[in-house]
Structure 1
Amino acid sequence: MKHWIKRSLFGLFGGALVIGSIAGCAGQRHGWSGMTEQDRAEFRTKVVDRVGSKLDLDTAQKQRLSVLAEKLQAQRTAMRDAGGAGGTRSQFTSLFAGARLDQAGASKLIDEKTAVLRNGSPEVIAAAADFFDNLNPSQQVKVREFMERGRRWHRG
Structure 2
Amino acid sequence: MKPWFKRSLFGLAGAALVAGSLTGCGYRHGGWHNASEQDRAEFRARMVERVSSKLELDATQKAKLAALSEKIQAQRAALRGGGDPRAEFRSLFAGAKLDQERAKKLVEDKTAAIQAGSPEVIAAAADFFDSLNPEQQQRVRDFMDRGRRWGRG
- TM-score, normalization by structure 2: 0.85
Counterpart of 1:109?
Answer: 106
Counterpart of 1:126?
Answer: 123
User: Is the contact between residue 71 and residue 124 of structure 2 (CA under 8 Å) also seen in structure 1?
Assistant: yes
Counterpart of 2:34?
Answer: 34
Q: Structure 1 residues 24, 40: CA separation in 2 closer, same or farther (over 3 Å shift)? A: closer
Give 1 or 2 for the bigger CA radius of gyration. 1
Counterpart of 1:96?
Answer: 93
Question: What are the ranges of 5 or more consecutive residues in structure 1 without an aligned counterpart?
Answer: none
Q: Structure 1 residues 60, 90: CA separation in 2 closer, same or farther (over 3 Å shift)? A: same
Give 1:153 shift.
Answer: 3.7
> In 1, distance between residues paired with 2:109 and 2:18?
15
What amino acid is aligned across from residue 14 of structure 1 in structure 2?
A
The secondary structure found in structure 2 opposite 1:151 is coil
> In 2, distance between residues paired with 1:26 and 1:46?
20
Structure with more relative contact order (C-alpha pairs < 8 Å, separation 6 or more): 2
Counterpart of 1:18?
Answer: 17
Question: What are the ranges of 5 or more consecutive residues in structure 2 without an aligned counterpart?
Answer: none
Task: Say how many residue pairs are matched.
Answer: 151
Counterpart of 2:83?
Answer: 86
Give 1:38 shift.
Answer: 1.3
Give 1:29 shift.
Answer: 4.8
Give 1:25 shift.
Answer: 3.7
Q: Structure 1 residues 69, 142: CA separation in 2 closer, same or farther (over 3 Å shift)? A: same
Deviation per residue, 1:108-146 (Å, 9 max, x gap) = 000000000100001101100000000000000000011
User: Is the contact between residue 48 and residue 66 of structure 1 (CA under 8 Å) also seen in structure 2?
Assistant: yes
Counterpart of 2:66?
Answer: 66
Q: Does 1:143 align with 2:140?
A: yes
What amino acid is aligned across from residue 21 of structure 1 in structure 2?
G
User: Is the contact between residue 23 and residue 89 of structure 1 (CA under 8 Å) also seen in structure 2?
Assistant: yes
User: Is the contact between residue 22 and residue 86 of structure 2 (CA under 8 Å) also seen in structure 1?
Assistant: yes
Decide which moves more: 50-59 or 9-18.
9-18
User: Is the contact between residue 26 and residue 89 of structure 1 (CA under 8 Å) also seen in structure 2?
Assistant: no
User: Is the contact between residue 71 and residue 124 of structure 1 (CA under 8 Å) also seen in structure 2?
Assistant: yes
